[in-house]
Every structure is written in structure tokens, then in C-alpha cells.
Structure 1
């Protein structure tokens, strides 16, 4: 079977990229399950019920989030009701929503998807390494394979998490930095890994934001109001191939399409 994991969907351009690219990719690559990071999908900052349903209508099966998960007020009531969206599991107890969920696909294969957020250069949260241990034990034999979206700033933290979970999860992918890395590999223990999926959003931008605004910020050092660029898009993702008998990852392939 094959799983497609899509890098941070940013704004209108990102949603258009999913609409244009996803249907044909699912057919061409024989995709069985689609995960997208949606924390920037609504205007580049958070997500809403309307935007989530738009992405589901294009063929996304479930959404992971990140440090911008709480930026739209309606998400506080929406998250606990929508099983197809998970938020980082290592927010302190009491945060709305779930940090993982289990989905049944492809003739009964049970896929657990875990969302974690990093602590280096990020808001204060609980330890993602200890939370990963806890959730893997909690999931136990209720799932046949485990996929992890680790939403983190520091590449070192993501690489470390890859090694930490090698052999215990089917795949560990990084998100958040919006720049696709070229280090996809199968780790020695059999875990598919990439440091960052990249960004599905405006290509002619600075990681999704209008270039003139970012250049002005760098040149003046003054605060600027960020606005998502509305330009040609790029579509960043990986395809993870999983052996249908052993349920271990056998290959990970980068996808980079653009308008």
C-alpha cells in the first residue's frame, strides 16, 4: 500500500495545489491514504471547518496540525468533534482535540497517525520524546502501523526524533519549516524518514508570505503584518510505500510539483 503525506498547506494557493494535483496523483501512484498538514490552510494561519471540509472534498483523508492550531477561535469547539483532524499530542492536558487517531483503510489495515510539536525555538509544550513513548505504548496492538508528523523548527530535533523512533513507527516526517529537504531514507530499523515535507502553497514567496513584506522586514528590522502570497503554487509531499504483508516501509519518494 502507499501513503501520501503532504507538506504544510498554506492559504488559497495551497488549497488550489491540492485540488489540482491530488486527484491525479492518487490514481497515478496508487495512493491508499492521504495525510496533509493543515495548520496554515486558512489564510496562512490556522484552520476552519470550512477550509478543512474543502481539503477533505479534494481527497485528503485526514489533517495534522502544528503550533498555529489554536489561531482560529472556532477550532476549540470543532476539534473534539472532527476525528479527521488531530493536533500535537504534547500540548498540556486539557487542550481540546486528540493528538492521535486510528483509521482503517485498504482492506482493514489500521493506521495510527500521531502529531507532535517540537520544543526548540517553539512555544513551550511537554516533551515530544516522552509523549511519543507514551502514545506508542497506548496504541499497542490496536494499529498495524504508526505514522508520525513531527512539527518542529530545528532540523537536529527532527533528526533526533527519527533515530529515537526508528523501528518503532512506520514513518516519521518533519513539517513546519516549509522547505522540502533532500534526505528521505529508510532508517536501519525500517522507519521511513524525511526532515521536512516542505510546503504546498505559493511558490513565489518567502515560505508562503509575500516577498516584499519579508524583504522590508529584513531591511528595516521593523515589525510587519504578514500576508500570504497569492502566486503560482508548489505541491510538496512524500509517497511512502509499505509492504502489505510485513507492514514495514519499503520506500519513500519525494514529490515536488509546481504550477
Structure 2
């Protein structure tokens, strides 16, 4: 039996610093074997840069997943050549940097990490349900974990049920609010609709409250910045049989 930790969207320098402070202790306390971190908002301001990705790796991430802000920082597109970072696999093929699948070699076993993005209220990418079918055909490990970066809870739920028994885990990201529906679908697939975030807790999804409220009040453009104040860390821990790719337990964690 192995144990995987998935950390939700890390927001800005504050989120990176808090992850650096807490992740080592979490891994030791829970005996974590593999750590996946969503880093698409880890750069100060938005997106992901070489510097923020390096912080996540130094903090203890084995694989970094992303989402709709993956390519926001054009000066850092070269990071997607690294084996430790994935971008949504359903970006159109041809001309898109990086890969939507990474396989982590753990010696006695391997783990595939797939990044997908939803299309409901999101960018019109390729159909993620069709894409995942093709991706699974090419994998030779039973241990498959999917970061489904999506807005609509219905689309995330549908993906979880679609992949039941076919992958080891499906983790929803993007909305930054941890949901309380963690479960093992079909006695096989760990699932949660949204893992949550890492960053300032008293905020609007990690950014300053004032400008966000003003945007909704007046519908005028505003400048967002990472909020200040105490941070929290949201994640999930999954126990899985690495020989069968079958999850047995999933727990939410919140570290304040």
C-alpha cells in the first residue's frame, strides 16, 4: 500500500511560502510516498513561472499540475519541457508546448499523472472525455491519477463517474473551495470535486477581497493582487494498492 498527497491550487508567493513551511512536516507525519501539487496560480499575479515552479519542487512536489492559467506567463513557457510539470492534455495537438501526461518512476512501481481541463464555462478545448479515453490506452501502469481542472461541479462529477474503475483517483481543481464529497467510487477510484487551495484564507479565492467585491458591484475592470494575512493549505491523502491501481481510502486535510 502506498500513500499519495494531492495539494490544491497554490496561490502566489504567500501560498508558495506556506507550502514550503508546512509540506515537509505533512509528508513526514502521514508517511507520504508521492506528492502532486497544482501550481497554475503559484506565480505572484497569476500563472506559473520558473521561480514559482522551483519553489514548489524544493518544497517537496514530485509532479506539478496546471490549468487554464498554464501559459499565462509567456516568459516561462520553457518550464513545460521539464518532466515534473504537466499542462491540460486536451489543448489542441500540434504547436502546444509540454505534455498532458507524466509518468513518475518509483522503482518498484510507477504512477501516471494526467492533467485535463473542463469545457463548461471554460476555454473551448478538445473534449476531455474523448481525450482521456485515448490517453488511457497508451499507459502501462495501473496507477493513474487525474487532475480535472474544471469550473462546473456537474462536469467534475460526471468525469469521476466516467473514470470509475479505470483510474486510481480523480481530483477536481480550479474553484479553490474544498468540497466535502470525498469518496471511493466503485470501490476503486478516489474522488473529490475540488481539493481546495493554498494561500490566504481571508480572501476571495486567494486574492484581495476589496477589488473582487468592487468588480461584482460595478462590473468594471480591477487589478487583482494576492491577499495578505494567515494562510491555509487544503489537500487530500489517498491510500492505494500500487499493484492493482486501486484506492482504498481518501481523506481531506486542512492545515491552518
TM over 0.5: yes
8 Å CA contact 2:187, 2:247 repeated in 1: no
Match of 1:13 in 2: 14
Q: Quote the Cα distance in structure 1 between the aligned partners of 2:47 and 2:242.
A: 35
Provide Cα deviations, 1:108-132, integer angstroms capped at 9, x if missing partner.
2100000000000001100000000
Superposition pairs for residues 168-247 of structure 1, below 5 Å?
168-247=166-245
Q: Quote the Cα distance in structure 1 between the aligned partners of 2:18 and 2:48.
A: 17
Superposition pairs for residues 1-259 of structure 1, below 5 Å?
1-80=2-81, 82-94=82-94, 95-105=96-106, 107-139=107-139, 141=140, 143-258=141-256
The root-mean-square deviation of aligned C-alpha atoms, in Å, is 1.1
Q: TM-score with structure 1 length normalisation?
A: 0.95
Q: Quote the Cα distance in structure 2 between the aligned partners of 1:75 and 1:153.
A: 25
- Structure 1: runs of 5 or more not aligned: none
Q: TM-score with structure 2 length normalisation?
A: 0.96
Provide Cα deviations, 1:50-71, integer angstroms capped at 9, x if missing partner.
1111111111111000000011
8 Å CA contact 1:13, 1:232 repeated in 2: no
**Pairwise CA distance, 1:189:** 4.7
Provide Cα deviations, 1:15-45, integer angstroms capped at 9, x if missing partner.
1221121101111100000000000000141
8 Å CA contact 1:237, 1:256 repeated in 2: yes
Moved more, 19-28 or 174-183: 19-28
3-state SS, counterpart of residue 74 of structure 2: coil
- How many residue pairs were aligned? 254
Q: Quote the Cα distance in structure 2 between the aligned partners of 1:171 and 1:256.
A: 19
- Structure 2: runs of 5 or more not aligned: none
8 Å CA contact 1:109, 1:144 repeated in 2: no
Q: Quote the Cα distance in structure 1 between the aligned partners of 2:124 and 2:31.
A: 39
**Pairwise CA distance, 1:249:** 0.4
